[in-house]
């Protein structure tokens, strides 16, 4: 079923509009929304009208963005997400121990989304805004999550990255190495001057729940890589155990 198809259920079309608005991070015009979703303008306006009525979309000067009901959803997620609740204290402890920023990320619609962020107290610090999402393409978080997805999901996501044959083969080898090592390390792939290490949160059946990522300016990394990797792996293992319960 293609995006924007007339055979797509109306609920899916409405959620598609809301997802695009959330990813865009700034208000969008109807023309931009139509291009991003593949929906005809008449269909798009029907979805917007429904979402506005329920408070999930608001309009300002002819441009659309998430509405106040989205805040209620976000607050409810923070309060009720077992993953966030299990991870929060350990994320804070890792940030204190390393004096660097730490994020909790998960896969949503083939994107890495930041569920929780603990910022470094240092004036020069790296950050991944809570709620921000990026494609499963570059950076430690994205590569760690992609590497640990079930094979069928991983292959489908790889196909949609539109890599050339040579680059795709290299990426598969890189992802296999990440799985073997149990973590991903990148430097400057998403943001210049940023180093990151990401470790997966896997339960006893090796099911992926998310990942934690420690990020720091590259100028503070020299000689500390091994320590940062160890801290991150230990923290990830602790959170994974908590997710499995007593």
What digits encode the pLDDT tens for the residues 131-157? Answer: 888 899 999 999 999 999 999 999 999
Predicted local distance difference test score (pLDDT) of residue 128: 80
CB atoms closer than 10 angstroms to residue 156: 12
227 in Cβ contact with 197 (< 8 Å): no
| 111-115-118 Cα angle (round to 5) | 125
Chain centroid to CA 167? 23
What digits encode the pLDDT tens for the residues 28-60? Answer: 999 999 999 999 999 999 999 999 998 889 999
Predicted local distance difference test score (pLDDT) of residue 144: 98
Domain span(s) for CATH 3.30.450.40 in the chain: 81-243
What backbone phi and psi angles, to 5 degrees, belong to 147? -60, -30
Predicted local distance difference test score (pLDDT) of residue 11: 84
Q: Could you identify the residue written with the tokens 């997966």?
A: 200
Quote the CA–CA distance of 116 and 151 in Å, as a whole number. 26
CATH of 10-72, one of 3.90.105.10, 3.30.530.20, 1.10.10.10, 3.90.400.10: 1.10.10.10
> Mean pLDDT over all residues of the chain?
90
What digits encode the pLDDT tens for the residues 52-104? Answer: 998 889 999 999 998 888 877 777 776 668 999 999 999 999 999 999 999 99
Architecture of domain 81-243: 2-Layer Sandwich (3.30)
**Closest Cα partner for 139 from 214, 201, 191?**
191
Q: 76: burial class by Cβ within 10 Å (0-12, 13-18, 19+)?
A: exposed
Quote the CA–CA distance of 27 and 179 in Å, as a whole number. 38
Quote the CA–CA distance of 71 and 76 in Å, as a whole number. 8
Confidence band for 5, pLDDT divided at 50, 70 and 90: very low
Domain span(s) for CATH 1.10.10.10 in the chain: 10-72
The answer for residues whose C-beta is within 8 angstroms of residue 159's C-beta and 6 or more apart is none
Give the H/E segment covering residue 179: helix 165-181
- Residues comprising the chain, all counted: 246
């Amino acid at each position: 079923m293609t995006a924007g198809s007339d055979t797509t259920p109306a609920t899916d079309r409405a959620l598609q509009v809301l997802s695009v608005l959330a990813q865009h991070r700034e208000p969008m015009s109807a023309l931009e929304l139509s291009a991003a979703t593949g929906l005809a303008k008449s269909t798009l306006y029907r979805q917007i009208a429904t979402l506005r009525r329920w408070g999930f979309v608001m309009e300002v000067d002819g441009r659309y963005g998430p509405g106040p009901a989205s805040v209620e959803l976000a607050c409810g997620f923070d309060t009720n997400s077992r993953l966030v609740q299990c991870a929060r204290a350990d994320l804070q402890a890792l940030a204190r121990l390393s004096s660097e920023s730490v994020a909790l990320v998960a896969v949503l619609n083939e994107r890495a989304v930041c569920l929780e962020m603990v910022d470094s107290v240092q004036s020069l610090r790296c950050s991944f805004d809570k709620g921000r999402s990026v494609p499963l393409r570059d950076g430690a978080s994205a590569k760690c999550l992609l590497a640990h997805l079930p094979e069928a999901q991983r292959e489908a996501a790889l196909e949609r990255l539109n890599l050339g044959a040579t680059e795709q083969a290299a990426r598969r080898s890189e992802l296999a190495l990440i799985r073997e090592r149990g973590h991903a390390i990148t430097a400057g792939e998403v943001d210049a001057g940023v180093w990151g290490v990401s470790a997966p949160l896997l339960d006893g059946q090796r099911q992926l729940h998310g990942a934690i990522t420690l990020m720091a300016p590259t100028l503070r990394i020299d000689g500390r890589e091994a320590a940062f990797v160890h801290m991150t792996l230990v923290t990830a293992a602790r959170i994974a155990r908590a997710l499995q319960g007593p």
